[in-house]
């Protein structure tokens, strides 16, 4: 058993009296980014290989299953697993891959009939899809009710690392929170405030915090109904680092389209109407870098700005490079943060890049996930 009470692969091998000739269903997270029909980042596939290969080496017949995208419960060629299946054949020859689980509405509704169709003909089940284990979907919570089951290597590692950071972090413990909306991450921010020494806030959500401090945010992203909540958090006594300057885009400008016009300007924390904050400024980047370099543990979830637009990537780049430079134990919480770490070439310089943004946040907040609970059943 692992420290979180979930069976491991060795436990499954024991339960089945060996794996030679056994048929094992493995839930993986192969929801990989694609462009023009080509996989642009196979991190999640690479991360599943230790589990798939371990099972194959012991003679198991391995069938993987995954979702990709949001096909709304019906077949959609745009989200076919065919290109993923072709790449998997080069990474782990002999591993079969089912069609997109979400082509069936029973996946997201946790339909018992769909669960039954998944487990039919299989002797055991492995959950190695950390990035989907916060979902009570059929392929995550259903199979353990009827099959001997275990956590794969990736799932076990993710949980060990993230719970270890949450509960046994070296101090100072710094969390970096970015992204668009406070409302999306409010509960995890409140949870983190009881565990960390300070939080750095960037991205679109920073403007709601700045508004709560009485600043004018121009046309920046703002959640009006969250201003009072941000004011409460700021008044809580917790150390919350906010941007001290902003990179702003003027009227007429468009994100991802420099030719559209619109002036790009460095500004303070008060923006006039017609100006939209799209990144932290250089002074803020330097301040945040200092906090990261002085930390003992850093958890990063969310970019500092619209880093996909080259004009507004400086803030996120600075944070990424500080994550690579610091002596702290560093965890990148999946999603856009993982994409940014890869874009700026630091993904191999941090201690852990999670394969699940939402799952990592829920695990930090709740200390558990539906997928883990199911494996304990």
Active site residue ranges: 44, 181, 335, 358
Which are the contacts of 196, defined by CB distance < 8 A and separation ≥ 6? 169, 173, 174, 175, 299
What is the rounded distance in angstroms from the CA atom of residue 5 to the CA atom of residue 355? 21
Per-residue DSSP letter, 267: E
With CA atoms as reference, report the closest residue to 376 among 63, 127, 108.
127
Q: Which long-range contacts (CB under 8 A, 24 or more apart) does 285-288 make?
A: 285/314, 285/315, 285/318, 285/319, 286/318, 287/241, 287/244, 288/176, 288/200, 288/202, 288/241, 288/318, 288/319, 288/322
189, HSE (Cβ side, Cα atoms, 13 Å)? 28
Which are the contacts of 200, defined by CB distance < 8 A and separation ≥ 6? 174, 175, 176, 177, 241, 288, 291, 292, 319
With CA atoms as reference, report the closest residue to 126 among 6, 220, 35.
6
Q: What are phi and psi of 250, to 5 degrees?
A: -80, 175
The gap between the terminal CA atoms of the chain, to the nearest Å, is 13
Q: Is 112 in a helix, a strand, or coil? A: helix
């Amino acid at each position: 058993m692992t420290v979180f009470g979930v069976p491991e692969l060795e436990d499954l091998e024991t339960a089945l009296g060996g794996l030679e000739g056994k048929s094992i269903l493995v839930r993986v997270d192969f929801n990989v980014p694609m462009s023009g029909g080509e996989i642009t980042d196979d991190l999640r596939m690479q991360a599943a290989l230790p589990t798939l290969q371990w099972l194959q080496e012991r003679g198991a017949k391995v069938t993987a299953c995954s979702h990709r995208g949001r096909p709304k419960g019906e077949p959609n060629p745009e989200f076919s697993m065919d290109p993923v299946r072709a790449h998997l054949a080069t990474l782990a020859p002999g591993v079969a891959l089912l069609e997109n689980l979400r082509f069936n509405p029973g996946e997201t509704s946790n339909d018992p009939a769909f669960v039954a169709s998944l487990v039919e003909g299989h002797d055991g089940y492995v959950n190695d899809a950390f990035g989907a284990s916060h979902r009570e979907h059929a392929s995550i919570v259903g199979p353990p009710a009827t099959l001997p089951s275990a956590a794969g290597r990736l799932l076990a590692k993710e949980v060990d690392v993230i719970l270890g950071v949450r509960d046994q972090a070296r101090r100072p413990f710094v969390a970096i929170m970015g992204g668009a909306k406070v409302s999306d991450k409010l509960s995890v921010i409140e949870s983190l405030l009881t565990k960390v020494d300070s939080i750095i806030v960037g991205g679109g959500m920073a403007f709601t915090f700045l508004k709560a401090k009485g600043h004018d945010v121009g046309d920046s992203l703002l959640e009006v109904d969250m201003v009072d909540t941000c004011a409460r958090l700021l008044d809580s006594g917790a150390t919350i680092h906010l941007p001290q300057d902003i990179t702003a885009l003027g009227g007429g400008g468009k994100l991802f389209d420099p030719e559209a016009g619109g002036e790009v300007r460095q500004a303070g924390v008060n923006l006039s109407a017609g100006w939209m904050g799209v990144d932290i400024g250089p002074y803020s980047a330097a301040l945040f870098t200092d906090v990261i370099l002085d930390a003992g543990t850093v958890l990063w979830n969310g970019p500092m700005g619209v880093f996909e637009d080259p004009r507004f990537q400086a803030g996120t780049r600075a944070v990424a490079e500080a994550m690579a430079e610091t002596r702290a134990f560093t965890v990148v919480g999946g999603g856009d943060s993982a994409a940014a770490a890869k874009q700026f070439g630091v993904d191999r310089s941090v201690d852990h890049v999670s394969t699940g943004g939402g799952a990592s946040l829920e695990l930090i907040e709740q200390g558990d996930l539906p997928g883990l609970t199911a494996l304990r059943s």
